[in-house]
Structure 1
């Protein structure tokens, strides 16, 4: 089978790989129908996020069950499923203390990073990491369950009230999903995106009660009487913590979810004196995957509207270029009028 393989920074190609072996015990073989291009994929390709050389990329996926092991009970051949890629063993110290998203085995089991991912026609996982899709949920929208679950996890770590002044930085799929999750909890706010084409897309897909702005300065100008006007900021860019911290009101919260290596100076005394909270969040936790699937299936979050492009896996370079990743030129740039690009192996 032809799979998209990462070799080193800016080096990836379609390669012939052996099909996974027949499932044993509780294993399930899934024919992948849709895999979203994720910001983590872009970080891996650009060398900003470490991955195992020779790994098959991809982790936002849905498909059909084509084979099951003898111990599988809850799914059967032909079932339409979405794959939770955040493997956890359930036995290590971090798993047993409620940190399954940081399972000690993650260095060998992280789908599309340290273990083969889903940008391939077939992917083998275990029954406990599969969720059956309702008949009305398409494969493409289902592939957004994983990034949505990450947004649910992050939002659950914040202390939220509808009256808080709220900003989401970055109008990519993750930023839009965070805006929708916060909206579902009763918050209104502003999504900030500097790329003009993507900013217009955001205006079409975010909750109508949310504003879309070009810059953080534009948002803060609305509260000219307050030097530090913001209560809750979610930074999906990984680049703006230094700009945000001075603008947080006392008791303000900054959630960091962008996987970029970026250092900023911290005045720890000011953080303590102003009761600021700086929180990181990654992957799914505490049932957020099931919650995300419910939000999509119930129509609370219109995931299908975020999918702007669907391409066969063979056109992966075109798909990456749509989100600003030029593999041949070895550079990341502004997205070319795309939001979520889904590849179809």
Structure 2
């Protein structure tokens, strides 16, 4: 099968022929139909985060089940599915207490003694290592995953929009509804209006937030944020202190802030813009080794700062619900897609992300 392979940090992905294994007892073989090009992939391309190489990248995807292992019970051949990068075992402590997004059980992955899910064959039939990226590797024509890394959805849902639910939309909407538990009428600020930030704004609107403040440096992104539900905007290129601007705009700060960029300065600002009792949620991937600094006295007002991983999801329940939200017109996905591309164009999509352009590209497979 064709796949986009990262062989060296900082270098373009290479389109190669990669071999894929057959499903084990709890595994599912999926024909990839669409894959979003997410900023999280770019973090690994640029080296902000590390991963075993060579690796087939991609982690935001949708497809059709081609084959299932002997013990698979959650999906069947022919199902349309959305994938999720955090597979869960279903019986560890975090799973049993309702936090399946935090499961890191090794049983959802193949052990080192097993044959790899992905590998490279040379002309003589010898095989070489090929790492699976975030349990998925969706920049490829096929995916081989644990059954708890995908969920079946209704078949009238378009694949290119379904793919976005697999990461950016679940991350943003989930952070609002699950991680921070935004209530109707509360105030929300979102720093960064890329794919995740726009989904966060949309999630806040669905949750009934009273005021939703979008913050970005690009006027075009701020205009787009209004279509997703932002009631106010702050142009970060025009103010010296975004936290101060939000406090003044709201008369004391917001109940919930969401940092969707992954920078030290914006993470700190997300905490500073809270009212007493408010909660800051860091969604962005802050580079490894970066530390943030906060004023200790601010905690006396019961302000909180916390991380959010994949929107604290229960994805087998959440993703089909998000599909229904889209089909009923509540969730905006069409507007997130800047263009639809072929696998061979994946590097141009990364260039688009580096330039900070609107929305995101989606790879569409024939």
Length-normalised TM-score, structure 2: 0.80
Deviation at 1:246, TM superposition (A): 2.9
Find out whether 1:151 has 2:172 as its counterpart.
Answer: yes
2:222 match: 199
Give the structure 1 partner of residue 124 of structure 2.
Answer: none
Contact 1:95–1:103 under 8 Å retained in 2: yes
Residue number among 124, 129, 133 corresponding to 2:144 in the alignment: 124
Question: After superposition, where does 1:120-269 map in structure 2 within 5 Å?
Answer: 120-147=140-167, 148-155=169-176, 156-187=178-209, 188-203=211-226, 205-207=227-229, 210-215=231-236, 217=241, 221=245, 224=248, 228-239=252-263, 240-261=266-287, 262-269=290-297
Question: Cα offset for 1:157?
Answer: 2.2
Q: Which runs of 5+ in 2 are unaligned?
A: 111-130
Moved more, 306-315 or 262-271: 262-271
Give the deviation of 1:129 after TM superposition. Answer: 3.1
Match of 1:310 in 2: 340
Q: What SS is found at the alignment partner of 1:179? A: helix
Aligned 8 A contact 2:246 2:253 in 1: no
Shift of the alpha carbon at 1:51?
1.7
Gaps of 5+ in 1: 325-333
Deviations 1:270-320 (A, max 9, x none): 31x111111101125452453233223333202122112110010111111
| Partner Cα distance (2:304, 2:107) in 1 | 28
- The aligned length equals 332
Structure 2 distance, partners of 1:112, 1:228, is: 47
RMSD of aligned C-alpha atoms? 2.9
CA distance in 2, matches of 1:206, 1:194: 17
Q: Secondary structure at the match of 2:257?
A: strand
Counterpart residue number, 1:40: 40
Distance in 1 between residues matched to 2:338 and 2:244, nearest whole Å: 30
**How big is the shift at 1:108?**
8.7
Give 1:255-294 correspondences, 5 Å limit.
255-261=281-287, 262-271=290-299, 273-283=300-310, 285=312, 287-294=314-321
- TM-score, normalised by the number of residues in structure 1: 0.85
